[in-house]
Amino acid sequence: MFFTAAEIAEKVRGEVIGDGSIHLTGFAPAGCAMVGDLTFAEQDSYFAAAEASPAAAILVAGAYASPRKVLIRVRDARVAVARLLPLFFPPDLSEAGCHASAAIAASARVDPTAYVGPHCVVGEGVHIGARSVLMGGNHIGRDVRIGDDAPGVEKTDVAEAVAARARAHRVVEREQPRFEFRQRIAAHRAGELG
């Protein structure tokens, strides 16, 4: 699959300087770029590397000029790179269903539009919501709900759930007696610790 420089410029709201019909077949940093690739540069040193690379075109922000390469000038190169990444590197699309090696508890509910990948373990009472994707090797513990469409869950905030568990763990940790290093040695010598 390829894109023309003009098509790329349209997607990132940029301006083509040079041949807009040139075919771009990949997207890479200058040090890894191959013939037909689009690369990018924000600073003079990066621009020099991009110009010396085999890339066909350079995405730039600023007043750069090149006698050898097609340029796509944008206001912000980082924003343009972020817009182009999914175009050149589309996300993997998984078909709905469960891989044969996945272990799914009898009480777990997996939406028919979800995908459970190889070697996943789905625990008791788990709900996997619509269009959720578990790639290989995931372990989902008891009573977990995953997916924007899970009943009773507006939007699952994994970060908040992890933080809440960490806070609960710290509270339990504080309630347990702590021994200083010297106390442990003394307790060990007295036979109180194994």
Domain membership of residue 151 (yes or no) is yes
**116, 64: one domain:** no
pLDDT value at residue 149: 52
Tokens of 86: 């999914």
Is residue 99 scored above 50 in pLDDT?
yes
pLDDT value at residue 181: 47
The CATH number linked to 41 is: 3.40.1390.10
- Phi and psi based region of residue 38 (left: phi greater than 0; alpha: psi -120 to 50; beta: remaining): beta
Q: How many CB atoms lie within 10 A of CB 134?
A: 23
Summarize pLDDT for 36-64 with one digit per residue, the tens: 999 999 899 999 999 999 999 999 998 99
**16, 56: one domain:** yes
Note down the domain range covering 114: 97-156
CB 22 within 8 A of CB 8: no
Q: How many Å apart are CA 130 and CA 114, to the nearest integer?
A: 5
Overall domain count for the chain: 2
pLDDT value at residue 179: 45
Summarize pLDDT for 121-177 with one digit per residue, the tens: 999 999 998 888 888 888 999 999 998 654 444 344 444 544 444 554 444 433 444
Tokens of 38: 């689009």
One-letter amino acid at 173 equals E
Q: How many Å apart are CA 49 and CA 32, to the nearest integer?
A: 11
**23, 58: one domain:** yes
Domain membership of residue 183 (yes or no) is no
Q: How many Å apart are CA 89 and CA 144, to the nearest integer?
A: 31
Q: How many Å apart are CA 57 and CA 5, to the nearest integer?
A: 8
Compute the residue count for the chain: 194
* Strand 121-122 relative to strand 139-140, pairing: parallel
Q: How many CB atoms lie within 10 A of CB 146?
A: 22
